[in-house]
Amino acid sequence: MKRLTYSLLIVILFFGCDQKNKFSNKNPDNLSIDLTLKSSPKISFGYLHESRRISSFNEKLPKYYQSQLELLSIKDKDSVIIATLNTDYNQFYYQMYKKGFINKDQFLGKGIDSLVEVNKPNQIQLLASIKFQGETQTLIIDDNNNGDFSDDKVVTFDKDFRIDANDSLKIESLPILNFEYWNYKDSQIDTFKRKVIVYPSLNYFTFSSTENEVLKKSRLVLHLMDYWSGSLETENQKYDVAIQGLKNSYLKILIKPDSLNFSPKSYVFNNNFSYQIKDSIELDNKIYVIDSITNDVSKLILIHIPSKKNIYGFRTGQKVESVILNDLSGNKINLSEIIKNKSFTILDFWGTWCKPCIEEIPNLKKFYKTYSKDINLVSIAFDKDVEKVKNYTASNAMDWQHFFADRLNRSNKGGIMNNLHIEEFPTLILLDANQKIIYRGSGSESLDEIKEILKMK
């Protein structure tokens, strides 16, 4: 715990120290980072980038589904369910149109350019055979893509495993499978070979509601077990780069000092180092744009841009943009006016509806009593009723600054909730007097982490 806390301070240097890069390009200030696939250690990137759902076409394309059962080498076809993962949506529906499983109007309705699709190879599908028998569910993945499940490994689950799918020991012990697919980008086809696990999950959050029992029984999750890794070395510091995703047009990029550890479980913590293509980042008092990743995900390119502007953002090391806050009486106060009064400011995002937030209030009260001379504590309630917040803070003797963010109107793009990408409650953000984020965390451990940082300061 302490290694994680102490080393968080190094993040600040990441965005502001005097460094010289060692890369040689046409522009010596540009950075080129080599990337390779790596299987360990585990890093949490968030479900949208490290997982994909798999299910049956029994409901959406029943004729196609029946053709799968007829063509595949399967015994006892009547008791087997086939689930399919398509890695290229457009190419799949182009093939469905060519083979007569959807008509011309259905195909045109999907807005797919057939002139692009005709130049692509047939996509590689990942097929799964699912069978329920007695108290068990068996799963076979055709990871060699030969349409024959007899030469693939059988994995057995309790029939109710899929309801919660939260047995981490069972999931972590699943066999690692080979997953081959290609991506099309900028008129180029690149083939990837990845390591994955697959397991049943009835209630995975991206599945939509259905009454179709075959479809429900077919639901699986594919989880990536590798990621692209690279490093950036400057005169004073090394940095780790980790990139995740299936589509090279939609990848999550993490960049951190190597003195820190990526979290294996908390994507919220790792989001302190999260970027996407065309985001800006400050290194060596210079501003770079994360310009591109090569189609084959072998290089990450950062381009230096001549700018003296501050980068405002929500990540550790960036500055918080000054915004207008509404206090519980409706008065408007600029955040910068609050921050400049003391050496540090804690932004506490909470709500009266949030049980973990309520449980944390006694600890916040003790903390504020100890540190109030040197620290601003600013609680921002993301709530529906300002009067309810006002009554709650008064009756619970929460004797610090309070503000209100309307939970019924989060469309305010310039508001603090959107500017700081607040998605978890409670979230605590520690700022210095220059509005720079020193720490960002969510959950009950965040306040302890902040205490350790303040002890060093």
Name the residue type at position 182.
W
- Reply yes or no on whether the pLDDT at 69 is more than 80: yes
Confidence of residue 242 (pLDDT cuts 50, 70, 90): very high
SS (H, E, C) the chain: CHHHHHHHCHHHHHCCCCCCECCCCCCCCCEEEECEEECCCCCCCCHHHHEEEEECCCCCCHHHHHHHHHHCECCCHHHEEEEEEECCHHHHHHHHHHCCCCCHHHHHCCCCCHHHHCCCCCCCEEEEEEEEECCEEEEEECCCCCCEHHHCCEEEEECCHHHHCCCHHHHHCCCCEEEEEEEEECCEEEEEEEEEEEEECCCCCCCCCCCCHHHHHCCEEEEECCEEEEEEEECCCEEEEEEECCCCCCCEEEEEECCCCCCCCCHHHHHHHEECCCCEEEECCEEEEEEEECCCCCEEEEEEECCCCCCECCCCCCECCCCEEEECCCCEEEHHHHHCCCCEEEEEEECCCCHHHHHHHHHHHHHHHHHCCCEEEEEEEEECCHHHHHHHHHHCCCCCEEEEEECCCCCCCCCHHHHCCCCCCCEEEEEECCCEEEEEEECCCHHHHHHHHHHHC
More confident residue, 189 or 234: 189
Report, as an integer, the average pLDDT of 320-343.
92
| pTM for the structure as a whole | 0.73
Question: What number is the average pLDDT over the span 359-375?
Answer: 93
Predicted confidence at residue 65, as pLDDT, reads: 95
- Is the separation of the CB atoms in 90 and 182 below 8 Å? no
Q: Where are the domains positioned within the chain?
A: 2-39+227-305, 47-87+124-224, 324-456
Backbone Cα Rg of the chain: 26
Structure tokens that stand for 279 in this block: 């985001």
Question: In the block, which residue shows the tokens 């190094």?
Answer: 10
Q: How far is CA 231 from CA 22, 34, 192, 263, 298, in A?
A: 12, 7, 21, 17, 12
Give Cα separations from 71 to 44, 93, 97, 335 (angstroms): 38, 19, 18, 65
**CATH of span 324-456:** 3.40.30.10
Lowest mean pLDDT among 247-256, 390-399, 442-451: 442-451
pLDDT of residue 308: 60
Distance from C-alpha of 34 to C-alpha of 302, rounded to nearest angstrom: 12
Instruction: Please give the order of strands across the beta sheet that includes 324-327.
Output: 332-334, 324-327, 401-406, 375-383, 344-350, 427-432, 437-442
What per-residue confidence (pLDDT) applies to 2? Answer: 44
Kindly indicate the confidence band of residue 305, based on its pLDDT and cuts at 50, 70 and 90: confident
- Has residue 21 got a pLDDT over 50? no
Please report the pLDDT score of residue 168 as a whole number.
78
Single out the residue of 88, 123, 93, 41 nearest to residue 248, CA to CA.
Answer: 88
Counting beta carbons within 10 angstroms of the beta carbon of residue 258, is it exposed (0 to 12), middle (13 to 18) or buried (19 or more)? middle
CA distance 277 to 295: 13
Whole-number pLDDT of residue 209: 85
For all residues of the chain together, what is the average pLDDT? 87
Q: Record the tokens describing residue 211, joined without a space.
A: 């009454």
Q: What's the chain's length in residues?
A: 457
User: What pLDDT is stored for residue 274 in this prediction?
Assistant: 87
pLDDT exceeds cutoff 70 at 20: no
CA distance 7 to 346: 19
For residue range 173-186, list pLDDT tens digits in order: 899 999 999 999 88
| Structure confidence at residue 265 (pLDDT) | 83
pLDDT digits (tens, 9 = 90+) for 147-171: 888 889 999 999 999 998 877 778 8
Sorting pLDDT into bands at 50, 70 and 90, what band is 261? confident
Tell me which residue has tokens 């799963």. 139
Q: Which residues of 51-68 are buried (b: 16+ CB within 10 A; e: fewer)?
A: bbbbbbbbeebeebbeeb
pLDDT grade, residue 24 (50/70/90)?
A: very low
Compute the Cα dihedral for 115, 121, 122, 128 and give only its sign: negative
